[in-house]
Structure 1
Amino acid sequence: MNLNLKNPVVFFDLETTGTNINSDRIVEICYLKVYPNGNEESKTLRINPEMHIPEESSSIHGIYDEDVANCPTFKEVAKNIARDIEGADLAGFNSNRFDIPVLAEEFLRAGVDIDMSKRKFIDVQVIFHKMEQRTLSAAYKFYCEKNLDDAHTAEADTRATYEVLKAQLDRYPELQNDMAFLADFSSYSKNVDFAGRVVYDDNDVEVFNFGKYKGVPVSDVFKKDPGYYSWMLNSDFTLNTKAVLTKIKLREFNGK
């Protein structure tokens, strides 16, 4: 089944130095842009992460320090990537919990202002887990009846994710071929920040999603415990989370 698109959708996958969305960096990015008319464009870039790639990560994706030593840094290609995904929705496999937060952090470090608030985010892994509870290689075998021979290479994973989503639409009639529906279906919560530290509650109020103030409106916490904002800014939270908190704090201050 071909995708029913109102806007282009970019399927993408990252290979990174590790799994910490706060501090780990991209070493490879592949994205496949699918247009409403069915045309496709793909690009794969190796990135110099400006840090050592741990051996345990290299053993998974096969990318070592010497492989990216002469590659551009993310800052050097950030504007080109931002231009390529401009106006497009984003899709991936475990992308809502990892790839999108990592990509957002890299853009912030590079000083590239990209507004992703109006994008739709389709996480094929979430759809898969809700429907079948498997991994990407198993999903590819299950839905597409193919073996994912080059698993953990960004290009193979990106292409497989695209094919799996199309096959999911063919298999499940209850899935609507609509990016807004799929974005909602593939989300476990309504995140305010990409890391999911702040979410919207049932009344669309921003509340903390962790710790002693879980479920409490952010604005209420800032009023009764002003030091909590400073603590978060000085702790190991993502730049995106800190920016969201600052935006809420400024909004509340200006609304006084």
Structure 2
Amino acid sequence: MKLNLTKPLVIFDLETTGLDLVKDRIIQISYIKVSPNGVEERGNELVNPEKPIPEDVAALTGISNEDVKDKPTFKQLGQQLAQKFTGCDFAGFNSNHFDIPLLAEEFLRAGIDFDFSKCRLIDAQTIFHRMERRNLAAAYKFYCGRKMEEDFEAHRADQDTEATYRVLMGELDKYAPGANEDPEKVLENNMDQLAEFSKMNNNVDFAGRIVWGEVKDRSGKPVLDKDGKPQMTEVFNFGKHRGLPVADVLHIDPGYYSWILAGDFTYNTKQVLTRIRLREAQKG
């Protein structure tokens, strides 16, 4: 099945030094950029993380410190990647929970303000888990009819990217309207719907420090919009201001903003908070 695209879709995967969004770094990035006309562009880069690769990571990925010592850093690759990715949507496997947040951090560390809020983020793992609830290898066997180890080398970003691309297309084939009798297992070949289906939380920032919450009136009742749905606003999801609207906290406790900017929070959290602060300042 050909993807029904209105703008380019980047299917990608990362290998990293670990799972900490603040401390860990990318060691490999692989992507397939699919254009609405069906043209596919593939990219695969080893990245110097500027820190040692742990032995267990090297054993798992097959990527050693020797492999990356002469490779470009993400800062050196960032502008090139940002140019390729601008105007695109993104898809991956567990990408909304890890790969997108870490990629956002790497862009910001490189001084590149790449705005993922304007992208539709499609997670083939979320679709798979909500439909079948297994891992990538099981997804590949289920949707593609073959064992993953027969076609790919395990734990390499370029291999996992190819497998994810095939899984995503297999998902759209299996859950196409009219393809099965279960009305709850239908997916339209539409990037808006796939991105909405991939959402697993109400986070505003990737780390979940700021989330969407209902606007309440003075009596504590939800404020409704013109369609009768609750109006939503950004609220803090941690600390002494947990549950309070971010805009209100910025007015009553402006030092909280400076504390977060100086603290050990992800760059993306600081980026989101800064955008809210600038928006509120423009309101006067």
Pick the TM interval, shorter chain.
over 0.9
> How many Å separate the matches in 1 of 2:58 and 2:213?
39
Mapped pair 1:44 → 2:44: yes
> How many Å separate the matches in 1 of 2:17 and 2:68?
12
Matches within 5 A, 1:1-256: 1-149=1-149, 150-173=153-176, 174-202=186-214, 203-211=231-239, 213-256=241-284
Query: CA-to-partner distance for each residue in 1:202-237, whole Å, 9 max, x for gaps?
Result: 523111234554433112233344443333223221
Helix, strand or coil for the counterpart of 2:232? coil
Helix, strand or coil for the counterpart of 2:12? strand
Helix, strand or coil for the counterpart of 2:116? coil
Query: CA-to-partner distance for each residue in 1:59-91, whole Å, 9 max, x for gaps?
Result: 221111111001011111111111111211110
Unaligned runs of 5+ in 2: 177-185, 215-230
Give the superposed CA RMSD: 1.7
> How many Å separate the matches in 2 of 1:208 and 1:133?
31
Higher RCO (C-alpha under 8 Å, 6+ residues apart): 1
Moved more, 140-149 or 8-17: 140-149
Q: How many Å apart are 1:19 and its aligned residue? A: 0.3
Moved more, 212-221 or 179-188: 212-221
Helix, strand or coil for the counterpart of 1:205? strand
Q: How many Å apart are 1:121 and its aligned residue? A: 0.4
Helix, strand or coil for the counterpart of 1:201? strand
> How many Å separate the matches in 1 of 2:129 and 2:237?
22
Aligned to 2:225: none
Q: Work out which of the two has the higher radius of gyration on C-alpha atoms and give 1 or 2.
A: 2
> How many Å separate the matches in 1 of 2:283 and 2:174?
49
Q: How many Å apart are 1:183 and its aligned residue? A: 0.4
> How many Å separate the matches in 2 of 1:224 and 1:113?
28
Q: How many Å apart are 1:24 and its aligned residue? A: 0.7
Relative distance call for 1:223 and 1:41 in structure 2 (3 A) is same
Query: CA-to-partner distance for each residue in 1:7-61, whole Å, 9 max, x for gaps?
Result: 1100000000100011210000000011112221111000000011111221221
Aligned residues: 256
The one-letter code sitting in structure 1 at the alignment partner of 2:281 is: F
Any conservation in 2 of the 1:137–1:151 contact (CA below 8 Å)?
Answer: no
Moved more, 213-222 or 164-173: 213-222
Aligned to 2:223: none
Helix, strand or coil for the counterpart of 2:199? coil
> How many Å separate the matches in 2 of 1:74 and 1:123?
23
> How many Å separate the matches in 2 of 1:249 and 1:36?
36
Q: How many Å apart are 1:253 and its aligned residue? A: 3.5
Moved more, 146-155 or 206-215: 206-215
What TM-score results when the alignment is normalised by the length of structure 1?
0.93
> How many Å separate the matches in 1 of 2:107 and 2:115?
10
